[in-house]
Structure 1
């Protein structure tokens, strides 16, 4: 495999790169799993991504590993001897982490990595290796000072502009949506009058704005989804790209042409810079005050079950005994851009009327899902239903992303927010798997959620499924009978023989015969309410894994069941 180009040079930041934990948050935190980590491993700085190809994985390839590398183990099969050798070399080189594909035997990988003291990440199939490489390279290159959120928003953007300018070979400016200057690079180099006047006044000159409007460039720029080359009169050519979140334009990134003429490389790098600036602006907000951020951080702590209740109540400026309704959102499949889209949904929620009329309402992103916690009110589920439905429609139209929403409208005090989130998460998982439904309350889904919980328990304790039903499944499989379908119809009709026979297209006497044969073959006594309950529950837990599912119900009227 051809190695990717080296990362953009760091200039003017003086930092060592983001920590591994910060990097994961920026590039795809909810998607990339941490299989195991050393003490303090998530605090290790990441300096560059490094592709290690198993096809070229001889001993000499380990010499390319460097301290601070995030090693992308391409083509590697877990539990292979190569993995052991790679992990040992990674330990010796003091790399930040090794990323693998989670195919098989992750328990062995974890044991080996813990023995050697190496942090291992698991990358899902939906993230291509080159996509991971590009994102790591960009974040590591433009990370402001290597200190994450310590600096202010404006100083962070200046660091981004400086590093982007070094990579692009020309001066860079970052504007907001109204073309007000947010940050600019200050590296040595030639500057023209347009850049000078923009920096001095913090807005572009009037004649330049007039040219943008009258030439149609402004309209083209607002519609652009990739870098656009423009030639302002009397100035050096520019490459500019809108910074977007969904369909909204948050700002623009400009670069003036330097000694190297614009080419495909400049387009690619500028697009990556715009994506990182977008993530930064959406996550931090150029006007979001510190108290609002802290309120969100404290709510995240409450949802994760480790909040200091008194501190949270004080920050939210409300009584400690106040209760919250909780609404959760997730993508039905996956976010188009997991580093930006969930935060865009959060922003849209905060603009909603419900947030204005419920003081203390807060929206946060946790684990790739969006949660809105709103102090309880008399309107209850109707108000929250409107919030969820309109948000689903808005995001579908703007991002082309199908959302599902679960509403927990039972008011929970702050200590109960963790449990409320667990209920919402179970409901979201069920909704994501149901193509016919996008929104529901936790109460509406409670029977299905309970069944899902029991199904998870049965997977870890298979003895819960032992008994006559398993014997009957085996009989159906070997004798080509339909006893399981018969039981399903019988249970689904609340033991109504007439209705069950109609569903099965058999005579009532045929159905009676089948039920007698079931008792003879496996000992299931349907007249015993406890046995009947357990049998039906086991069938529900088995779902489509048992033979004789809904598609097998419709046997022909004259079909008889062999014994």
Structure 2
């Protein structure tokens, strides 16, 4: 898993990660080397990384890699051109391994020891956030401003620590650390374990539940004062919830996380509670922006599907997403029948479809564009398999989730450079073939070309008022004034290809009644339904309001 950003220095990254998590063991090139990209790798990834002749990532996190493997990899890295080597490696075995330290030094790679109890997923997430943070650097004056528009969570944690006294941790609703201020020797076990991605002491968590702290955090945005617990070596704390302002659709604001302030060697500053309340409001805006803004990966996938402008460098996007450019692919578009009430409904649908698509193909990609969800299946197994999976999924969503979906498939897609045009093809089908019939809910352009072309012709005519026949208005006015059904009668007559008996049976009227109605239509509109041209024109004009009702 690779992440690339505009970068930070190794020293800035280590300072932000904190000595609780990491320790710089050796830096042959100094600690000011630039770190712009990071990769989390295991044993199976090492040979692939060194075999490639392209430049490597700036930083690697060695997950579960044994000493011998790490040494071989570092020695191989040292044989590459300097510009194609990584800048730093994070390793849990580096503290105890002289061989790893020697190999890293020989390769000219900085070696960073990671705490044994640190969780790799937590470390990787923190490194990624720190690198992304480097995109927007602030001036010293802005760094002191709690209301700076580009303040991030790490910057906010540091500012709160400076203004309130103590050490700050910002956590999500599941108590995962999102950001924190620098620690010192006064950090207690609860803070250390939280930063390492571990659960705090269970006895203390049980006490917090007994005191009703978590319930209070869900119900109020007031600062809660938590006394020290000497027996468990837990220091005095203040905590406040981070709450998204209510948008009128929920009875209570959504809880986005919490801010914890641990007392250090000195008491909290007098206005610490006020600082925390202000920080809570700022954190809510930061997290809300993050939740509302698409991630880098989301943007890349959307660009691959042809959104967000033209001129997409498909090979670069494919490389960033770790998928191959060549080889046949399939694009499947999903749309809900009926009106989609909110973007939340679309997001919920997208999450469910993403899980199913990933189960079908691990390398699948899912994108949300408007109220539709698109799935890319690289290197599909067979046309039959894709069709069967899509039909099964549509049926499953209806029976188990009461969601009626309409799906269109573009297959085969020659390679990833054609994904955007495949999405356009899928949209043409979805725009033109909305149906409630179970058999027609999954289709392709080839299977529904008549419906697609006819719908697009009607759209073209509908967009040109000068192509609308004004004579039909007299028919509509007659029906409305006399509570008649001449429009329905002539539409049924045309659908039955002029067969009066079949049309009359469908309308449940006598054939002579229908013949009278058809003559009235001819008189009112001024057409001759025995004339093929008049029949064709009337059918097109009558189809326009039906088409408009579907859009």
Q: Give the TM-score normalised by the residue count of structure 2.
A: 0.52
Instruction: State whether structure 2 residue 305 is matched by structure 1 residue 320.
Output: no
Distance 2:283 2:436 in 1: 36
CA shift at 1:537, angstroms?
2.0
Does the 8 Å CA contact 2:173/2:258 hold for their aligned counterparts?
A: no
CA distance in 2, matches of 1:200, 1:475: 76
Deviation of the 1:489 alpha carbon = 2.5
Shift in Å at residue 369 of structure 1? 4.4
2:136 is matched with: 147
Which residue of structure 1 aligns with residue 340 of structure 2? 333
Asked whether the 8 Å contact 2:239–2:260 carries over to 1, the reply is yes
Give the conservation status (yes or no) of the 8 Å contact 1:403–1:438. no
Aligned to 1:239: 240
Change (3 A) 1:283 1:212: farther
Other-structure match for 1:159? 155
Q: Deviations over 1:156-176 (max 9, x none)?
A: 541354577899999652235
Describe the shift of the 1:278–1:429 C-alpha distance in structure 2 as closer, same or farther (beyond 3 A).
farther
Q: Is the 8 A contact 1:350 1:362 kept in 2?
A: yes
Q: Aligned to 2:177, which of 165, 175, 181?
A: 181
SS of the aligned residue for 1:410 comes to strand
- Report the secondary structure of 2:529's partner residue: coil
Alpha-carbon distance change, 455 to 361 in structure 1, aligned in 2, over 3 angstroms: same
Q: Aligned equivalents of 2:342 and 2:160: distance in 1?
A: 26
1:380 to 372, 386, 393: 386
- C-alpha spacing 1:405/1:490, structure 2 compared with 1 (3 Å): closer
1:374, CA displacement in angstroms? 1.1
- Aligned residue pairs total 375
When structure 1 is superposed on structure 2, of 497-506 and 420-429 the one drifting more is 420-429
Deviation at 1:383, TM superposition (A): 0.7
Distance 1:214 1:159 in 2: 30
Query: Does the alignment pair 1:469 with 2:500?
Result: no
- Encode CA deviations 1:111-140: one digit per residue, 9 max, x unaligned: xxxxxxxxxxxxxxxxxxxxxxxxxxxxxx
Change (3 A) 1:239 1:308: closer
Q: Which runs of 5 or more residues in structure 2 are unaligned?
A: 1-131, 138-150, 229-235, 245-249, 262-267
Work out which of the residue numbers 368, 373, 379 in structure 2 matches 1:370. Answer: 373
Task: Give the CA deviation at 1:543.
Answer: 2.5
Q: For residue 206 of structure 1, what is the aligned residue in structure 2?
A: 201
Cα distance change on mapping 1:328 and 1:464 into 2, 3 Å:
same
Q: What is the CA distance between 1:541 and its match in structure 2?
A: 0.9
What do residues 311-349 of structure 1 show as CA deviations (whole Å, max 9, x unaligned)? Answer: 4566654352422222345794343659xx73x765554
- Decide whether aligned partners of structure 1 residues 269 and 541 sit closer, same or farther in structure 2, where only a CA change above 3 A counts: farther
What does residue range 2-401 of structure 1 map to in structure 2 within 5 Å?
147=136, 156-162=152-158, 172-175=168-171, 179-185=175-181, 197=192, 203=198, 205-206=200-201, 209-211=204-206, 215=210, 220=215, 224=218, 232-234=226-228, 235-240=236-241, 252-256=257-261, 259=270, 270=280, 273-274=283-284, 276-277=286-287, 280=290, 296=301, 299-301=304-306, 306-311=311-316, 316-318=322-324, 320-328=326-334, 332-335=339-342, 342=347, 346=350, 348-352=352-356, 354-358=357-361, 360-367=363-370, 369-375=372-378, 376-378=380-382, 379-387=385-393
Spell out, residue by residue over 1:4-31, the C-alpha distance to the aligned partner (whole angstroms, 9 max, x if none).
Answer: xxxxxxxxxxxxxxxxxxxxxxxxxxxx
How far has the Cα of 1:266 moved from its partner?
7.3
In the TM superposition, what is the alpha-carbon distance from 1:533 to its structure 2 partner? Answer: 2.4
State the Cα deviation string for residues 48-82 of structure 1 (Å, max 9, x = none).
xxxxxxxxxxxxxxxxxxxxxxxxxxxxxxxxxxx
**Aligned in 2, Cα 1:488/1:319: closer, same or farther, shift over 3 Å?**
same
Residue 470 of structure 1: how far off its partner (Å): 4.1
Give the conservation status (yes or no) of the 8 Å contact 2:410–2:426.
no
Q: CA deviation at 1:451?
A: 5.2
In the other structure, the counterpart of 1:54 is: none
Q: Which residue of 2 aligns with 1:422?
A: 424
Moved more, 376-385 or 176-185: 176-185
* 2:413 and 2:419 in contact (8 A); partners too: yes
Alpha-carbon separation, structure 2, partners of 1:357 and 1:387:
11
Provide the rounded CA distance (Å) in 1 between the counterparts of 2:431 and 2:294.
28
- The CA distance in 1 between the partners of 2:334 and 2:517, in whole Å, is 46
Q: Paired residue for 1:535, among 535, 538, 546?
A: 538
Q: Deviations over 1:391-412 (max 9, x none)?
A: 7899x79xxxx78553325333
Distance 1:372 1:529, change over 3 A: same
Structure showing greater radius of gyration is: 2
Structure 1 alignment gaps of length 5 or more: 1-142, 149-154, 547-563
CA contact under 8 A between 1:310 and 1:320: conserved in structure 2?
Answer: no
Preserved CA contact (<8 Å) 1:423 1:442:
no
SS of residue matched to 2:528: coil
Which of 504, 507, 510 pairs up with 1:507? Answer: 510
Q: CA RMSD in A?
A: 5.3
Q: Deviations over 1:246-304 (max 9, x none)?
A: 9xx998332449745869x977974773474266379677xxxx8x6786365244796
Range that drifts further, 476-485 or 410-419: 476-485
**SS of corresponding position for 1:381:** helix
Q: Is the 8 A contact 1:323 1:412 kept in 2?
A: yes
Equivalent residues of 2:432, 2:456 under 8 A apart: no
| Cα displacement (A) at 1:540 | 1.2
Report the Cα offset of residue 212 of structure 1. Answer: 5.2
